[in-house]
């Protein structure tokens, strides 16, 4: 399987420490997608949606770990029971508010990824498709160490190299 970036995410976060850990902690934080020019036709009608789901490559994550201590707990959990970046396929998923589409640029609010993160896909967020029906359980996140809106990242999952390094 070969997956190519379709563009890049531009955000205010040049470093991994002290950034939001989810869009819920990034209200009022703006960024944008710079879509590869040859794909712009695929944006037709996207501006009718208030939110988009973006999928991207955690390009600065460290080695794969199957057990992690996530930002919101003091205990370890299986990586698939967390949103930690150090996954076998290091793919991030964020639901973001869509502000406007201008040419190949898509302005977004709620960005929780580093600047220059490679973009893999964009999908419209549709509550009728994406919101589960029936009761929802949040597992160990029922008792987080801090509210997600306040929690900030550190470099526990980061690779050695970040922007500005050679
Ligand atoms: C906990 S993940 C959640 C991302 C996404 N909302 C998800 O659930 O898949 C967000 C954290 O990943 C790290 N991160 C963000 N962008 C990254 C990138 N491009 N490479 C490696 N780590 C990144 C930062 O520590 C950030 O706070």
pLDDT tens track for 110-160: 999 999 999 999 999 999 999 999 999 999 998 888 889 999 999 999 986
CATH number of the domain encompassing residue 101: 2.40.30.70
Dist CA 45 CA 113 (whole Å): 25
Contact 15, 152 (CB under 8 A): no
Q: Report which of residues 166 and 56 the model is more confident about.
A: 56
Q: Which of 57, 87, 113 for mutating ligand 1's site (highest number of atoms within 8 Å of CB)?
A: 113
- The number of beta carbons lying within 10 Å of the beta carbon of residue 39 is 12
Kindly give the distance from the C-alpha atom of residue 1 to the centroid of ligand 1, in angstroms, as a whole number. 23
Whether the Cβ atoms of residue 61 and residue 157 lie closer than 8 Å to each other? yes
Whether the predicted pLDDT of 12 surpasses 80: yes
What residue owns the CA closest to ligand 1's atom 15? 113
CA atoms of 87 and 6, how far apart (whole Å): 21
In the chain, how many domains are there? Answer: 1
Q: Establish if 15 belongs to a structural domain.
A: yes
What pLDDT, on the 0 to 100 scale, is given for residue 166? 42
The reported pTM is: 0.95
**Would 149 be classed as within a structural domain?**
no
Ligand 1 nearest atom to the CA of residue 58, by list position? 20
pLDDT for 161 equals 55
Centre of ligand 1 from the C-alpha of residue 136, in Å? 24
The per-residue pLDDT for 62 is: 85
Q: Is residue 78 predicted with pLDDT exceeding 90?
A: yes
Looking at residues 8-19, what average pLDDT do you find? 97
Q: What domain range is 116 assigned to?
A: 7-127+136-142
CA–centroid distance, residue 16 to ligand 1 (Å): 8
Nearest to 61 by CA among 148, 165, 161: 161
20 CA distance to ligand 1 centroid (A)?
A: 8
| Site of tokens 């420490």 | 17
């Amino acid at each position: 399987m070969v997956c190519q970036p379709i563009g890049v995410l531009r955000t205010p976060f040049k470093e991994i420490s002290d950034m939001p850990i989810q869009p819920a902690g990034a209200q009022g934080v703006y960024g944008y997608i710079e879509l590869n020019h040859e794909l712009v036709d695929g944006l037709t009608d996207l501006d009718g949606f208030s939110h988009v789901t973006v999928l991207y490559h955690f390009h600065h994550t460290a080695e794969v770990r199957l057990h992690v201590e996530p930002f919101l707990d003091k205990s370890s959990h299986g990586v698939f029971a967390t949103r930690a970046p150090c996954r076998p396929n290091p793919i991030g998923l964020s639901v973001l508010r869509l502000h406007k589409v201008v040419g190949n640029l898509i302005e977004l609010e709620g960005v929780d990824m580093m600047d220059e993160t490679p973009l893999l896909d964009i999908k419209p967020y549709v509550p009728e498709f994406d919101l589960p029906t029936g009761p929802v359980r949040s597992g160990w996140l029922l008792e987080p160490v801090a509210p997600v809106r306040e929690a900030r990242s550190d470099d526990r999952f980061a690779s050695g190299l970040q922007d500005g390094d050679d």
